Amino acid sequence: MIPADWEAPAGTSHVYPTQLAPIIRRPAARESGDEAVPEFEAVMARFGLLPGFAKDLKSGTRTYNARSETAASLPSFKGAWAKGRHCIVPCEAIYEPDWRTGTHIPTRFTATEDGTLGVAGLWQPWRAPTGEWIDTFTMLTLNADEHPLMKHMHRPDRGRPVEMQDKRMVVILPEAQYAEWLDAPAERSKEFMTQYPAERLVVTPEPVATKAASARAKKANPAE
């Protein structure tokens, strides 16, 4: 489970690729037998996993999500996958775009009981050109074509049939699986790639106000 005293760092309410965000993982010294070593540690890492051949942080804009079906073979992710570098990305909410109206509506997904959503991720240390070692991470995803909620997210591909859109969703772990995921070897990783139950998510559309609507609101409330 996430450490009881853990709190999200200030300024991390919305996290975008290459930015810093907290991840939960096993401490490297945990195998030493020292009872003072905690079972879990929360560290800040860059959103977007960087393999050793990455030249700069900008590469993270292409590696913030990893398809669970291909992570074991793609050069960017296969090292972290093979080493079982599992982490949990704690999220207060996850945003996805709902395109059913013909335009994207930012949609907020939260846990039904106001809990933290724990997303399965991979982490990787990366050595910057300056010589500094930086922790980086990616969130694992899986097909969501049959998920009651997530199948409606993202722009539809008109060239594909409805049942073969390959809509994606992040892998949200049940809390009971947190420790097991962090300890699982690479050969067991696929066992955790399952869809999170729709009934355990709260969906809240948060449409962006248009310029016209904003102008009307200002006219109606000139003091604001």
Residues listed for the chain: 224
**CA atoms of 138 and 65, how far apart (whole Å):** 5
In a domain, 188, yes or no: yes
**Residue 212 belongs to a domain:** no
Residue 34, Cβ density class (10 Å: 0-12 exposed, 13-18 middle, ≥19 buried) = exposed
Sign of CA dihedral 173, 177, 183, 185: negative
The pLDDT, as a whole number, for residue 43 is 94
Q: Is residue 224 part of a domain?
A: no
What is the 3 state secondary structure string of 54-117?
CCCHHHHHHCCEEECCCCCCCCCCHHHHHCCCEEEEEECCEEEEECCCCCCEEEEEEECCCCCE
Token look-up 């997530």 returns: 150
φ, ψ for residue 17 (rounded to 5)? -50, 140
Residue 1 located in a structural domain:
no
> What sections of 76-172 are H helices per DSSP?
78-82
Separation of alpha carbons 128 and 138, rounded Å: 18
Cβ proximity of 119 and 43 under 8 Å: no
The answer to whether the beta carbons of residues 98 and 105 sit under 8 Å apart is: yes
Q: What pLDDT score was predicted for residue 208? A: 64
Q: Residue 118's domain is classified under what CATH number?
A: 3.90.1680.10
Residue 133 identity: W
Residue with tokens 């991840």: 23
Predicted confidence at residue 163, as pLDDT, reads 77
By three-state DSSP, how is residue 50 classified? Answer: coil
Structural domain range at position 31: 20-91+113-146+157-204
Instruction: Tell me if 59 is assigned to some domain.
Output: yes
DSSP letter at 22 equals: E
Distance, CA of 100 to CA of 156 (rounded, Å):
9
Angle at 115 between CA 113 and CA 121, to 5 degrees: 135
Work out how many domains the chain is built from and give that number.
1
Beta-bridged to residue 168, according to DSSP, are 143
Alpha-carbon distances of 83 from 122, 124, 127, 194, rounded to whole Å: 10, 10, 17, 21
Cα diameter, the chain: 66
Residue 126 lies in a domain: yes
Residue 209 resides in a domain: no
Do the domain assignments include residue 215? Answer: no
Task: Give the pLDDT of the chain (224 residues) as one tens digit per residue.
Answer: 444 454 554 544 678 999 999 999 999 877 756 677 788 999 999 999 999 999 999 999 999 999 999 999 999 999 999 999 999 999 999 999 998 898 889 999 999 987 899 999 999 999 999 999 999 999 999 999 999 999 999 988 888 887 788 999 999 999 999 999 999 999 999 999 999 999 999 999 988 654 444 444 344 444 43
* pLDDT score of 1: 41
